[in-house]
Structure 1
Amino acid sequence: MTTTADAIVIGGGLHGLSAALQLARRQVKVVLLERSRVGRHSSGASAAGVRTLNRARAELKLAIVAMDMWHHMEELVGDNCGFRPYGQLQLAENDEELQILKARVDGLNRDGFTNEEIVSADEVRSLVPALAPVYIAAALARNDGAADPHQTLMAFRRAAVEAGVTILEGVGVRSLHREGHVWRASDGSETFEAPLLVNAAGAWAGQIAAWAGDDIPIATKASMMIVTERVAPFIRPTVISMKRKLSFKQSNQGTLLIGGGQQGLPDLEAERSEVDARLLAKSAAAAISLFPAVKDLRIVRSWAGLEAKTRDDIAIAGLSPSAPSLMHLFGFSGHGFQLVPALGVATAELLLDGRSTVDLSGLQPGRLMAGAKPDKRKVDEHQGVSE
């Protein structure tokens, strides 16, 4: 059996949903293919950080566009997605760390970016009274925050369906090729045909790219998260640290979400990942060192997601350099959640108009393909932070 459409989106995470939504709103007939269920892997396992703080420069202009969209999310998908614009702080615990933060903020200001500022220990204390006094200052992005990943998934799925997107779960693409002006994707029993294709397949996107003729090497992340029992509200901003692998926030429900980049054990073939309890304990210890009051809280859940990681920890977002009418949208390396709304718009613009109003110049897939030299500046200019 063959199903025809104007565009095929492979991957039912948030980036696939956002791309499908924006294409459908421009009167494109879209079929979205998801091998498992919508949001099953990285999108459903995200801590939902909405962050411009400490973004790689290649992603920063895009992140600022996306941040404005987050502050108007209800206009986009009819739901605020649980977005809490309480800011994000990156702590400096000694003078060496503070000088690094100051240099970064000074560089941002010179280039016209005003999303970060340095705040004193007194202001940190006023923003987060429960924080142990180990810091001397912090970088603050006041417009940043966090959202609810499951509320966001439901909102984008609902908006996409209302726009006319056909979502097919349990349909994993096993072959892909192009004949003439048409892409043909098959799950082994049914074929899907369309002139436009979006590769948003997450940890499996490298295989999709290879079938399309693009050799884009990627690795796999399995970032782990801890959720505690509910407690009374005591922290509003998200807190990250230069010294420790830690991202610490409190949800609208009162649970604490503790992450920061400790990695579990990924298994792409089995489509699952396992928690590494020893490393997870390090996340818990880091949280207790900064927030001693949480030491007796119970952990109610932990998990590890599955996501593609690029060698420079920067997203892949752009048209294929070798295959026509193909948009690659993957490799978010643990920090793609915030970029979702803006990249949906950029995908529709690139596929339908041939250009985008959003600057994706540093995210092009060709930079990682054969013959491309790693850009050491882009690797070194930021520290990887898992949301």
Structure 2
Amino acid sequence: MSNRQCDVIIIGGGLHGLSAAMHLGRAGQRVTVLERSWVGRHASGATAAGVRTLNRDRGELDLSLEAIEMWHRLPELVGDDCGFHPNGQICVAETPAALQRLQAHVHALRTDGYTHEELIGSAELRQWLPELSPHCLGASLARRDGAADPHQALRAFRRAAETAGASIVEQCGVTFIEHHGDDWRVQAGGKEWRAPVLVNAAGAWGARVAAMVGDEIPLATKSSMMMVSERLRPFIKPVVSIMGRSLSFKQSDQGTLVIGGGLQGVPDLDRETSTARMGVLAKGARAATDLFPLVRDVRIVRVWSGLEAKTEDMLPVIGTSPNAPGVFHAFGFSGHGFELVPVVGAALTDLVVRGTTTRAIGNLSAQRLMAPAAKENRP
């Protein structure tokens, strides 16, 4: 085997791995990204690309709010807007009970000083969504949210990472990791790399990589599905969801409808496949037509699903390994990691270069998910 020495090895060439590579490269680190398939093969290439602070879990809300600021100046960060359109995200209430839940949610945010969400009534809701069904009563709104183009984002972050000096090696799955002196030895694709720092951004395979360095982190797999329709006249700009039902509904620049919202297919991590379930997709189609009756006869031209990691509490793992010096984790985004991409790479760079970060990752440590015995540092 040939030896390859660098400062940081990143395992995983999805958007979070590329963001880390870009930020670390700009901080003067020599970075190698090892990707088992090709850049964006799984979750990053199958995402609906929502840029959402709306209805975020409090455990990641502050991090999400920093990320949205980065999205609004993304051309300064990566030289490309990644197809980001800040046309807002809206969560619609169909019933009085749903509207009460939204009111309570927004009130709780305001009580704690958060102003990114607001409640809008029926009249303003129809200014935003003229084709909305008349049964809808109101909504919560995050005006600065929106959606982007995942493939444009992948190209932009890859280009920015390589411009910063990162080396990206595809078709190079990691098979073995061991600590040797001050370095980690990583065998992948029949070759060997060495670096004092590892970043585990392996997505659905994140727990398997973590186990190679002694961190037993529980992780499940999900297979979020999407549908795309034929092209229609433009009639909606925001991304729309429903309180209490699974739906994410938006219209692309090309006029197609992109419909998802956490509808799950069948994942197979070992085979690296995910299979769509048409009966489940039909629920998403029903939710879409309930909100927008004009799409009832629209043809669906394509469906897909992608492999994603899912943690027990649906929050990602971001931070330092409890057991392995020089190892940092960033995986388990559970279907809502796209918006966090710019800030996670920056937080990891803080940890690698300065040993600490002021970014809001305190709720996202691996320790919260690990069994008590596994949380203790090994000798």
Band of TM-score, shorter chain: over 0.9
1:304 deviation in Å? 0.6
**Which one-letter code corresponds to 2:115 in the other structure?**
T
Kept after mapping to 2: 8 A contact 1:10/1:16: yes
CA distance in 2, matches of 1:342, 1:119: 29
The corresponding residue for 1:45 is 46
1:352 deviation in Å? 1.0
CA distance in 2, matches of 1:6, 1:253: 42
Q: Are 2:177 and 1:181 aligned?
A: no
- Which runs of structure 2 are paired with 1:306-345 in the superposition (5 Å)? 306-345=307-346
Q: Are 2:272 and 1:233 aligned?
A: no
The corresponding residue for 1:348 is 349
The corresponding residue for 2:274 is 273
CA distance in 1, matches of 2:53, 2:47: 16
Q: Deviations over 1:123-182 (max 9, x none)?
A: 110100011122111110011100000000010001111111100000000111111221
CA distance in 2, matches of 1:271, 1:260: 22
Secondary structure at the residue paired with 2:233? Answer: coil
The corresponding residue for 2:358 is 357
CA distance in 2, matches of 1:62, 1:78: 22
5+ unaligned residues in a row in structure 2: which ranges? 374-379
Q: Kindly, what percent of the aligned residue pairs are identical?
A: 55
Kept after mapping to 1: 8 A contact 2:171/2:189: no
**Which one-letter code corresponds to 1:182 in the other structure?**
D
Kept after mapping to 2: 8 A contact 1:272/1:306: yes
Secondary structure at the residue paired with 1:222? Answer: strand
The corresponding residue for 1:83 is 84
The corresponding residue for 2:253 is 252
**Which one-letter code corresponds to 1:341 in the other structure?**
P
CA distance in 1, matches of 2:151, 2:231: 17
Kept after mapping to 2: 8 A contact 1:62/1:339: yes
Kept after mapping to 1: 8 A contact 2:52/2:146: yes
The corresponding residue for 1:125 is 126
**Which one-letter code corresponds to 2:132 in the other structure?**
L
Kept after mapping to 2: 8 A contact 1:226/1:301: yes
CA distance in 2, matches of 1:234, 1:344: 35
CA distance in 1, matches of 2:322, 2:178: 16
CA distance in 1, matches of 2:176, 2:308: 21
CA distance in 2, matches of 1:255, 1:327: 39
Secondary structure at the residue paired with 1:158? Answer: helix
The corresponding residue for 1:385 is none
**Which one-letter code corresponds to 2:274 in the other structure?**
S
Q: Deviations over 1:76-119 (max 9, x none)?
A: 00000000101011111122111211111111111111110100
The corresponding residue for 2:24 is 23
Q: Are 2:306 and 1:301 aligned?
A: no
CA distance in 2, matches of 1:241, 1:310: 23
Kept after mapping to 1: 8 A contact 2:172/2:189: no
**Which one-letter code corresponds to 1:140 in the other structure?**
L
After TM superposition, where is structure 1 displaced by more than 3 Å over at least 4 residues in a row?
A: none
CA distance in 1, matches of 2:162, 2:254: 28
1:3 deviation in Å? 1.0
The corresponding residue for 2:377 is none
Q: Deviations over 1:191-227 (max 9, x none)?
A: 1110111000000010100111111000001000001
The corresponding residue for 1:112 is 113
Secondary structure at the residue paired with 2:90? Answer: strand
- TM-score of the pair, normalised by structure 1: 0.95
The corresponding residue for 1:217 is 218
CA distance in 2, matches of 1:96, 1:277: 30
1:188 deviation in Å? 5.4
5+ unaligned residues in a row in structure 1: which ranges? 373-387
Kept after mapping to 2: 8 A contact 1:82/1:252: no
1:327 deviation in Å? 1.0
1:295 deviation in Å? 1.6
Secondary structure at the residue paired with 2:174? Answer: coil
**Which one-letter code corresponds to 2:367 in the other structure?**
G
Secondary structure at the residue paired with 1:104? Answer: helix
Secondary structure at the residue paired with 2:140? Answer: strand
CA distance in 2, matches of 1:221, 1:195: 32
Moved more, 319-328 or 193-202: 319-328
Kept after mapping to 2: 8 A contact 1:93/1:243: no
Secondary structure at the residue paired with 1:185? Answer: strand
Secondary structure at the residue paired with 1:256? Answer: strand
CA distance in 2, matches of 1:224, 1:216: 25
Q: Deviations over 1:347-373 (max 9, x none)?
A: 00011101112110111111001129x
The corresponding residue for 2:376 is none
CA distance in 2, matches of 1:270, 1:26: 37
- TM-score of the pair, normalised by structure 2: 0.97
CA distance in 2, matches of 1:272, 1:310: 19
Q: Deviations over 1:16-63 (max 9, x none)?
A: 000011000011000000000000000000000000000000100000
